[in-house]
Structure 1
């Protein structure tokens, strides 16, 4: 039957996509220009009030994050059984909900990292300088230590008895399992952060910056549901460090390296995936 067979290429191009996909979508941005990468070292930042203002915002946000979440963990630990407390689901909601609220509050000041792994991933993607990244991480860790310290100040006895919210690999799991859980969990979080804050999407869809805290908070919530039984869920080195320092028992330090190495590897993989695969930035023609 004549005319029934059509060339595959003609057929594929007969009805073009209204919204281009793949590399086509990356080359047809209307008024979008790729922002320049942040300088590796920016000495001028040290003279700017906005630099210190952002660090203070990270400190306060991480302080509040640890205060609410560790108190929630202590409440569950002190309960006679899971049914008389908010349980694992409640802990996951506390972590995810606080990240949602705090990212919303601080995004306009510091970007709302509240996590050294997020900061590290954004640094690798050249979204901030080394100076800013180091300052953020220091302030996040100090905020986490203070937040866990206030919780211990409220209830010193129960805090020590119930583990202080410190992250440890649970019985029945190997260190390799714990490391893998931290890597994958942090990958989910940092990948979500990149996608939710992508400047190209923000240029195309005005609602993206407003909704960004929501998927980030949900990512934290879902990762906690999955990995609380394995490691208590770190995916945030500052959170793990703050609880470990205030709890300060030997077994809390035995596997503490997992909660730095895992999140940093996961963040690095997420940054590479987003920059190379999702955005294909190294392969874009420079015109």
Structure 2
């Protein structure tokens, strides 16, 4: 056989072997993905719930052998249940260190987004902007009529979140400080507050940004003429915001680890923005359990 023909056959053999090797590697990767199985139950923050549910749907499509269930209940419930080991993930709007009865040392924090929170009123309220001092007086019961803060003569209907709500904790830390909130009707989720405000004249409460956009019957208030926008949260010009935490008891493993990691995929960042949340990468400041610091 001629030398050139021998060389050609050898090259074809090598190319075939390489192709077989590549295809085998691809199949192994696919098999590795398909082997991811298990159940992930995430409970807690209703502010994080819409994002967690939609990411869960995408994740389940990518990993059909993993069952993801997302439930509300409030940040307090999420932290309590993950600490007890009854759920894989505790969703929270606040740091575990800030919750009474929670041993943060046994939990691992996974931040997945930032949530902005704004005071909201029924659209019949003529006031457009309040100061932090005015908001504090309203939520502590010292101001009870809108005409005391530049509005029309109309009784203020105060609607609060229930104790244990992370959204409430973030709002009160930013606006009330150490002051005690006035007695008011309490609702157990952002969704319920949204409905109550949009149908109750003279009412005021607070909501995560994602529950405000496009909602009829309610409007967000400015604080000292500063608008509740993503840009203002990113530079801390808007004071009411917090991280969306997904806590695990110990290090995340298996399907739970993969689900949390899925929040950081580039394809999910657009979903985070679409739903009114703020990607971590855009923040120019950092918040710890003790305060806010400028990023280096």
Shorter-chain TM-score tier: under 0.3
More helix as a share of residues: 1
More strand as a share of residues: 2
Q: Considering only CA atoms, is the larger Rg found in Structure 1 or Structure 2?
A: 2
> What is the TM-score normalised by the length of structure 1?
0.26
